[in-house]
Chain A
Amino acid sequence: MGHAAVAYRTGSIALPALLLAGLLTVIGLQTQTFQLPAFGSAMPGPQTVAIAPRPFDYRATGEFIRAGASADGPLVHVEQPAPLEMMKYQVSAADYAQCVADGACRKADKRRRGEGDVPVTGVSYDDATDYAAWLSAKTGQTWRLPTVEEWVFAAGSRAVDHALGIEANAADPAKRWLVAYAREAALGSDGPANPQPLGTFGVNEFGLADLSAVVWEWTQTCASRTTLDAAGTQISHVESCGVRYLEGRHRTPMSTFVRDALGGGCSVGVPPDNLGFRLVREPHWLETLTRGWLPRA
C-alpha cells in the first residue's frame, strides 16, 4: 500500500537560531536524560524513560476510504524520529490527586477511580491536558500528551497494528465490520479489568511500564478521515479535533470529554476498559542543543 500524501508530523523540534557556545560546553557534560535544574520551589518531574531514535513504521491514524470503501490506513515509515522522553508509568491516582487538591484538575470519574499507586482512570482528554498544564507549571518543564506516532514509537513491541488486512470492497461493507468486531472482542478483556498497581504488567524493551494492558492512554492526535483513490493518491483529508485517539490494545477514537468509554458508536464495538494517560516531556531548547554531544544509550 502506498503512502498517503498526508503531512505526518515527525515530532522534531525546531532548533533556536541562537547558539550559546559557552552553555553548550557545560551542558554537554550532562547525562542523556539531563533536565534543566528546577528553580525555586519547583516540584521534581515524574520518572521518565528516554527512547533513542530508530527507524520505525506505524499504521497511519484516522479512518481511510479507498476507492469508495473503508480500508486500512497506509503504513507510515519514519526514518529519523526525534528522541523522546516519556513517563515510565501512567499517571497515578496519587499524582492526579495532587492536581485535584490544587484545584487544577477535576476529580476522576468515580466509576473508575482508583486510589494511590494505581493508574488514574476515569479521565477525559480534557482532564489529561489539565493535568499536563498543572504538572508543567509545578515543575517548570513542558509536559504534554504524546501523539499516536510518538506513542507507537515508544510502545515498540507493545504497539498493536489495527490493520484488518481485508481488501476494501464497497459492495460488501459488512465483511470489515465483522472482522473488526471479532478483532476488538479478542483484544478486549474477559472480565472486569480494574486498574492494577503501577508496574503490574511489566515493561517493554525500552523500560516503559504497563503498555497495552487494562488502561488505554489518551494521545493528542485528532480523529481524521482521509479519502484515497484506487491508486492510493489522497483526494481529501478532514481533521476533527473534538475526537482524539486513545492507544492501547486497540486504537480508539473518543470524544475529548468522555471519561468512561462504555459502549462505542451505535451500540456496537468493544470499548476500552479504562481511560488514563501518560505524558511526554518536551526538552528545553537548551537541552536540544546538547543532543549531538551526548553518548548513545
Chain B
Amino acid sequence: MDGKENIIVSRRTLLGAAAFASVVGAAVLTAVPAVAEDAGVVTGPVPDMSHLPRKKVKLVDPPFVHEHEQIATVGPQVVEFELVIQEKEMVIDDYGTTVQAMTFNGTVPGPLMVVHEGDYVELTLKNPDTNQMQHNIDFHSSTGALGGGGLTLINPGEQVVLRWKATRPGVFVYHCAPGGPMIPWHVVSGMNGAIMVLPREGLKDGYGKPLKYDRVYYVGEQDFYIPKDEEGNFKSYESPGDGYDDMLKVMRTLTPTHEVFNGAVGALTGDNAMKAAVGETVLIVHSQANRDTRPHIIGGHGDYVWATGKFRNAPEVDLETWHIPGGCAGAALYTFLQPGIYAYVNHNLIEAVELGATAHFMVEGEWNDDLMTQVQAPTPIG
C-alpha cells in the first residue's frame, strides 16, 4: 500500500515537473520542489531546529484528546510525542473473549495526536523488552520512508526518534507496518491510531467561515478476527505468536468476528458513554486503519463532514451517514440540538449491533418541541 502511494507520488512528481519545466525552464525546476508546489504543500530547507520552539505533549487515552489550540497563536514548532508499544492481552467483549493485542500506549486505538500544519512532529517510539516482536510506525500524514516505517523498525528493548513535517492538514491514520504478513496482523491486533493536523487558522466551512468545536472525541474503529474452536467458542492464546496461524485463517475470510469502537464492545457506552450538552459543537474524529466504515449519529446529523478527513477540501454538510474508507480517518462536526441518548454507530447495523460498533452520547439540555414532539402517546388503535 505504501509502495503504491510512493509510486503515485513519484508519478505526480514527474508530471508536475514536466509541466513546470515546459513553462518556466529547467533551471528553476532544480530549485523548486515541484510536487510540493503542485499540492500546495509548503516545504523548504530544514530550518535550524535549535531555534524552533519545542512543545512536549502528554498524550491521553481515547476517546479523549490532549489539550490543544484550534487556531495556532504561535508559529511552527517542534511537537514532541512519546509512544510506548505494549503487547498485552485485552478483553474485547462481554463474553470475556480475549485478543493478544498489540498497542501504541496500551490502548486500542492508540492516542490521537494534534499538531498544526507546518509543525514538526518529533516522535519517540519505544519498544520495551517486555514485548516479543519488532514494531514500527507508518504515519499516513508524513512523506517518505513508507510513512516513517522504514526508519522506525525497532526490536524489543530499543527506541527510535523520528521527525517529520506536517505539511497536509487533516486527520490521518498511523499504524504499525513491520513488513509482509506482519502488517495486517499487527493492524488488526490493535496497532493503529490517528493524528490531526489542524490548519494554522483553524477549521473552515469551505466558504471562509471559521468552524470551532467545544469538545473533541476520538473514536477508533477496530476489526478483530478471533479464531474459534470446533464447538464455535472463541479461542484464547498465551502469546500473540501462538494465535498467529489461526488468526491469519480468519483474517483471510475478510469477515471480522468483532467490529468495535475503542478496543472492545461497549467501550463507549454506559458509564463510558461520551458526553455533550445541547448547543455544544462536537468534533468526532473517526479512524479505521483496515476496513471501510460508515458512521451515523442516530437522531442527529453530520453538520460539516470531512469523510476522508482532509481539511483543505470543503466539508460536506447535513449528512446522514458518511463513508470512511479503510486506512483513513474522517472528521465530523455536529452541534447537538436535542437532549437525550444518541447512538453513534457504524451504520452497517449488523456490525453496529451484532459485532459491536456502537457508541453512545449522553446529551443534557432542554428539549425542543419545535424540532420534535410526540403528538399522541401510544394508545390502543381506534
Contacts and interface: CB of A to CB of B under 8 A. Distances in A.
A and B together in one complex: yes
Interface of A: 63, 65, 68-69, 110-112, 170-175, 177-178, 181-182, 184-186, 188-194, 225, 227, 235-236, 238, 262-263, 266-268, 270, 273
Interface in B266-282: 269-271, 273
A100 to B, nearest CB: 14
A111 B340 contact: no
Nearest to B376: A68
Nearest to B359: A267
Contacts of B360: 181, 267-268
A178 B270 contact: no
Interface stretch (B89-97, B140-148, B166-174, B306-314): B89-97
Interface of B: 91, 93-96, 231-233, 269-271, 273, 298, 338-343, 345, 352-354, 358, 360, 362-367, 369, 374, 377-380
A110 B366 contact: no
Q: Identify whether the interface residues of B are mostly helix, strand, loop, or mixed.
A: loop
B321 to A, nearest CB: 14
14 contacts: A173-B340, A173-B367, A174-B365, A175-B339, A178-B364, A181-B362, A185-B269, A192-B94, A267-B298, A267-B358, A268-B298, A268-B341, A268-B342, A270-B270
A174 B339 contact: yes
Contacts of A174: 338-340, 363, 365, 367
Contact of B269 (A65, A111, A112, A270): A270
B233 A193 contact: no
B95 A110 contact: no
Contact of B374 (A173, A189, A236): A173
A178 B340 contact: yes
A51 to B, nearest CB: 32
A63 B379 CA distance: 12
A52 B338 CA distance: 50
Contact of A185 (B95, B270, B340): B270
A188 B270 contact: yes
A170 B374 contact: yes
Nearest to B361: A268
B353 A111 contact: no
B168 to A, nearest CB: 35
A168 B139 CA distance: 52
B377 A181 contact: no
Contacts of B338: 174
A68 B366 contact: no
B92 to A, nearest CB: 10
B354 A236 contact: no
Given A110-B231, A263-B358, A266-B298, A172 B364 contact: no
Nearest to B353: A263
B237 to A, nearest CB: 17
A110 B233 contact: yes
Q: Identify whether the interface residues of A are mostly helix, strand, loop, or mixed.
A: loop
A250 to B, nearest CB: 12
A172 B96 contact: no
B1 to A, nearest CB: 33
A184 B270 contact: yes
A262 B377 CA distance: 27
Nearest to B345: A267
Contacts of B341: 177-178, 181, 268
B379 A193 contact: no
A189 B232 CA distance: 25
A262 B265 CA distance: 10
B93 A192 contact: yes
A192 B358 contact: no
A68 B378 CA distance: 9
Nearest to B98: A192
B266 to A, nearest CB: 8
A63 B273 CA distance: 25
A71 B380 CA distance: 18
Given A65-B378, A171-B367, A192-B96, 14 more contacts: A68-B374, A68-B377, A69-B377, A111-B95, A174-B339, A175-B367, A182-B362, A184-B270, A185-B270, A192-B91, A225-B378, A266-B298, A267-B298, A270-B269
Contacts of A175: 339, 367
A66 B270 CA distance: 27
Nearest to A267: B343
Contacts of A185: 269-271, 273
Contacts of B94: 189, 191-193, 273
Contacts of A112: 95
A235 B341 CA distance: 29
